[in-house]
Amino acid sequence: MSAIKVVTDSTSDLSSGLLNKFGIGMIPLTVNIDNQFFIDKINISARGFFERLEQEDELPTTSQPAVGKFKERYFQLAEEYDTIISIHISDKLSGTYRTAQLAAEAVQEEAEVDIRVIDSKSASLGLGFLAIYAAEAVSQDRDIGEIMEGIKLRRNAVSILFTIDTLEYLQQGGRIGKAKAFLGDLLNIKPILEVDETGEVNFHSQVRGKKRLFRKVKRLARRKLKERTLDFPPKLALLHGAAMNDLRELQSEIIELADWESVVVSEIGPVIGTHVGPGALGVVIL
**Which of 114-118, 119-123, 164-168, 185-189 has the least mean pLDDT?**
185-189
The reply to whether 271 falls in a domain is: yes
Into how many domains does the chain fold? 2
**pLDDT of res. 48:** 92
Q: Which residues contact 171 (CB under 8 A, 6 or more apart)?
A: 180
- How many other CB atoms sit within 10 Å of the CB of residue 141? 9
Q: Which residues contact 256 (CB under 8 A, 6 or more apart)?
A: none
CATH number of the CATH domain containing 176: 3.30.1180.10
Question: Do 79 and 209 belong together in one domain?
Answer: no
Question: Do 75 and 141 belong together in one domain?
Answer: yes
pLDDT at 96 over 60: yes
pLDDT at 1 over 70: no
The answer to whether residues 90 and 121 touch, using CB atoms and an 8 Å cutoff, is yes
What does pTM read for this prediction? 0.93
pLDDT at 235 over 80: yes
Q: Read off the DSSP letter of residue 177.
A: G
Question: Do 79 and 145 belong together in one domain?
Answer: yes
pLDDT digits (tens, 9 = 90+) for 177-220: 544 545 455 557 888 999 999 999 998 888 988 899 999 999 99
Angle between helices 67-78 and 96-110 (to 10 degrees): 40
**pLDDT of res. 285:** 96
Question: Do 219 and 101 belong together in one domain?
Answer: no
Assign 231 a pLDDT band (cuts: 50, 70, 90): confident
Question: Do 269 and 190 belong together in one domain?
Answer: yes
**Which of 51-60, 165-174, 212-221 has the least mean pLDDT?**
165-174
